[in-house]
């Protein structure tokens, strides 16, 4: 992968590679390319080249949901595909659509997840307590009045309209100010036009100005980890990578359970949804404003903390800790970053099922999850990954689940230094490497936080065990589908 180095302010902050290009030349090339591309596709019939960012609030309980618009603004060139405007992958708990005003044609759509939807699975939400989250959707700017439609899935997995509003591109309430980047941005990997590549932007949180060198080292490491894994390794040429130098007042991030509060640019925090290792931010505006320094399709946030943790919300962001606490394996942050990116980039589900998370029955019974890598269906002909299965593979696929579960229960009670802990982990890993099933695609019971009733495609995967296991071939295919949808 060839790295190209550009800074918006022309300063030389760090050595990402031997190749330097001038930002102005790069932008000029992008503009010429985009204009010629626009003229050649139907994209120009309905949209102009700008991005429309719609900020809004989503308020509700487990049973109710209200959307109210906050602000509309233009935000640079549209970085997404100009040939695949309607999302065919059907992923996400929510979907935004741009609908033709006269004939109801869907002109644009995109699926995504939200923290709100995860919060709906918690006890307070089920008790009827209201909460509000700030969110944004970004679409290409329509060139005529259109309907903007917000949808969410019901308990049967079908999309229902939550809110609709008319967007008139001539309206005076669309903020059209051209805002300079909030922080210096560097083009770390440049492989082509944003509309023909997946544009991944990195942001940092909890890094003081004097820690930018560490931030750059952490970023390089995360990028290397990601592109060591298939399918990212083979598809590296389909990515542009941007790095925004976000500085914070304090080092580290919020740790509410330890009463540690830090002033950081993006507001990331441990203990999200009351889970000790879950890191999220609810400061959506800050994330979006800093990310807008680059054309982006995907956001990765690295936090300046050696304490284990991370989070990933589909089509929002992936967050990972960096470095390692004393006595902990140094590969944990590599594992976490790539795992969380699997969630945020491709909408992959967690394939594990033993976890102290605070969701209650996250996947409704008798409803097939939309996530591409877990299923409740055991009819071999209708399994969503049947195309990757050997028809001779038994369904459900036998594996040493009882032994694995008893070992898992044991190690969760023990200290990491205990001899039985080490032996237990070693035996669990041996079960996952059983040559009879390792690497095969089947239907292995235990997935999506449920020990029974949900199935995963492989005995092991980056979305299953806390290990450097590769993505299983079902997850790899699901990731490639997103790369295809954004780069073609
Ligand atoms: Zn998988």
pLDDT digits (tens, 9 = 90+) for 302-333: 999 999 999 999 999 999 999 888 888 999 99
Q: How far apart are CA 391 and CA 397, in angstroms?
A: 12
pLDDT at 13: 33
From 79, 46, 75, select the one nearest 187 (Cα to Cα).
79
Q: How far apart are CA 240 and CA 77, in angstroms?
A: 15
Distance from Cα 337 to the centre of ligand 1, integer Å: 15
Average pLDDT, the chain: 90
Distance from Cα 144 to the centre of ligand 1, integer Å: 42
Tell me the mean pLDDT in the region 366-370: 91
pLDDT tier at 257, thresholds 50, 70, 90: very high
**Position 14 pLDDT exceeds 50:** no
Distance from Cα 92 to the centre of ligand 1, integer Å: 17
pLDDT tier at 8, thresholds 50, 70, 90: very low
pLDDT tier at 15, thresholds 50, 70, 90: very low
Tell me: the pLDDT tens digits for 328-364?
899 999 999 999 999 999 999 999 997 555 455 678 8
- For 48, the 3-state DSSP assignment is strand
pLDDT at 355: 55
- For 208, the 3-state DSSP assignment is coil
Residue 440 has φ and ψ, to the nearest 5°, of: -90, 150
Tell me: the pLDDT tens digits for 167-194?
999 999 999 999 999 999 999 999 999 9
Distance from Cα 372 to the centre of ligand 1, integer Å: 9
Q: How far apart are CA 23 and CA 354, in angstroms?
A: 48
pLDDT tier at 21, thresholds 50, 70, 90: very low
Distance from Cα 375 to the centre of ligand 1, integer Å: 12
Distance from Cα 400 to the centre of ligand 1, integer Å: 18
**Position 32 pLDDT exceeds 70:** no
Distance from Cα 478 to the centre of ligand 1, integer Å: 9
pLDDT at 51: 97
Distance from Cα 461 to the centre of ligand 1, integer Å: 5
- For 380, the 3-state DSSP assignment is helix
For the CA atoms of 269, 349, 429, 355, the dihedral, rounded to the nearest 10 degrees, stands at 50
> Omega of the bond prior to 396 within 30 degrees of 0, cis?
yes
Lowest average pLDDT, out of 5-19, 95-109, 395-409, goes to 5-19
pLDDT at 488: 86
Position with higher pLDDT, 371 vs 17: 371
**Position 26 pLDDT exceeds 90:** no
Q: How far apart are CA 428 and CA 403, in angstroms?
A: 8
Distance from Cα 19 to the centre of ligand 1, integer Å: 36
Tell me the mean pLDDT in the region 412-419: 86
**Position 215 pLDDT exceeds 70:** yes
Residues with CB under 5 A from ligand 1 (ion): 373, 461, 463, 472, 475
Beta bridge partners of 242: 187, 201
Distance from Cα 456 to the centre of ligand 1, integer Å: 7
Distance from Cα 458 to the centre of ligand 1, integer Å: 6
Tell me: the pLDDT tens digits for 444-461?
999 999 999 999 999 999
Query: To which residue do tokens 């099933």 refer?
Result: 437
Lowest average pLDDT, out of 14-28, 421-435, 458-472, goes to 14-28
Strands 317-320 vs 310-313: parallel, antiparallel or unpaired: antiparallel
pLDDT tier at 380, thresholds 50, 70, 90: confident
pLDDT at 379: 84
- Which domains are present in the chain? 43-175 (2.60.40.3250), 185-346 (3.40.390.10)
* 293 touches 182 (CB < 8 A): yes
Q: In 143-222, which ranges are E strands? A: 146-153, 159-167, 174-175, 185-189, 198-205
Distance from Cα 342 to the centre of ligand 1, integer Å: 9
Distance from Cα 391 to the centre of ligand 1, integer Å: 19
Distance from Cα 127 to the centre of ligand 1, integer Å: 34
Distance from Cα 283 to the centre of ligand 1, integer Å: 30
Share of the chain above pLDDT 90, in %: 82
Tell me: the pLDDT tens digits for 50-64?
999 999 999 999 999
Tell me: the pLDDT tens digits for 108-143?
999 999 999 999 989 999 999 999 999 999 999 999
Neighbouring C-beta atoms of residue 74, cutoff 10 Å = 18
**Position 253 pLDDT exceeds 60:** yes
Distance from Cα 474 to the centre of ligand 1, integer Å: 6
Distance from Cα 171 to the centre of ligand 1, integer Å: 45
Distance from Cα 386 to the centre of ligand 1, integer Å: 14
């Amino acid at each position: 992968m060839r790295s190209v180095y550009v800074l918006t302010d022309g300063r030389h902050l760090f050595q990402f590679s031997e190749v330097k290009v001038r930002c102005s030349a790069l932008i000029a090339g992008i503009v010429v390319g985009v204009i010629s591309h626009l003229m050649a596709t139907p994209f120009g019939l309905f949209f102009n080249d700008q991005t429309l960012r719609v900020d809004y609030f989503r308020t509700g309980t487990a049973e109710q949901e209200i959307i109210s618009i906050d602000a509309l603004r233009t935000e640079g060139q549209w970085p997404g595909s100009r040939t695949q405007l309607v999302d065919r992958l059907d992923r996400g708990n929510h979907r935004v659509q741009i609908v033709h005003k006269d004939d109801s044609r869907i002109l644009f759509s995109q699926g995504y997840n939200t923290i709100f939807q995860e919060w709906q699975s918690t006890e307070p939400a089920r008790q009827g307590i209201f909460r509000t989250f700030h969110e944004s959707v970004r679409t290409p700017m329509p060139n005529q009045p259109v309907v903007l439609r917000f949808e969410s899935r019901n308990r049967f997995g079908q999309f229902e309209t939550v809110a609709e509003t008319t967007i008139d591109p001539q309206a005076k309430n669309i903020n059209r100010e051209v805002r300079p980047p909030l922080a210096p941005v560097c083009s770390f990997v440049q492989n082509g036009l944003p509309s023909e590549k997946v544009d991944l932007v990195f942001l940092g949180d909890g890094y003081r100005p004097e820690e930018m060198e560490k931030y750059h080292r952490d970023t390089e490491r995360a990028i290397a980890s990601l592109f060591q894994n298939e399918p990212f390794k083979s598809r590296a040429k389909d990515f542009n990578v941007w790095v925004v130098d976000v500085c914070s007042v304090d080092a580290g991030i919020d740790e509410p359970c330890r009463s540690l509060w830090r002033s950081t640019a993006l507001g990331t925090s441990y203990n999200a949804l009351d889970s000790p290792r879950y890191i999220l931010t609810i400061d959506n505006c800050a994330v979006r404003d800093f990310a807008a320094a680059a054309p982006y399709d995907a956001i990765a946030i690295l936090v300046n903390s050696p304490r284990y943790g991370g989070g990933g919300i589909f089509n929002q962001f992936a967050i990972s800790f960096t470095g390692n606490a004393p006595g902990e394996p140094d590969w944990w942050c590599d594992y976490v970053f790539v795992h969380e990116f699997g969630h945020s980039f491709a909408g992959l589900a967690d394939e594990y099922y033993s976890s102290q998370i605070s969701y209650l029955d996250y996947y409704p019974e008798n409803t097939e999850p939309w996530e591409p890598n877990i299923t409740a269906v055991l009819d071999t002909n209708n399994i969503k990954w049947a195309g990757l299965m050997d028809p001779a593979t038994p369904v459900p696929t036998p594996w040493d689940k009882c032994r694995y579960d008893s070992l898992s229960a044991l190690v969760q009670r023990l200290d990491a230094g205990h001899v039985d802990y080490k032996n237990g982990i070693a035996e669990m890993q041996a079960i996952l490497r059983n040559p009879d099933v390792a690497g095969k695609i089947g239907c292995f019971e235990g997935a999506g936080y449920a020990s029974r009733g949900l199935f995963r495609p492989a005995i092991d995967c980056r979305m299953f065990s806390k290990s450097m296991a590769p993505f299983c071939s079902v997850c790899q295919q699901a990731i490639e589908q997103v790369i295809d949808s954004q780069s073609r």
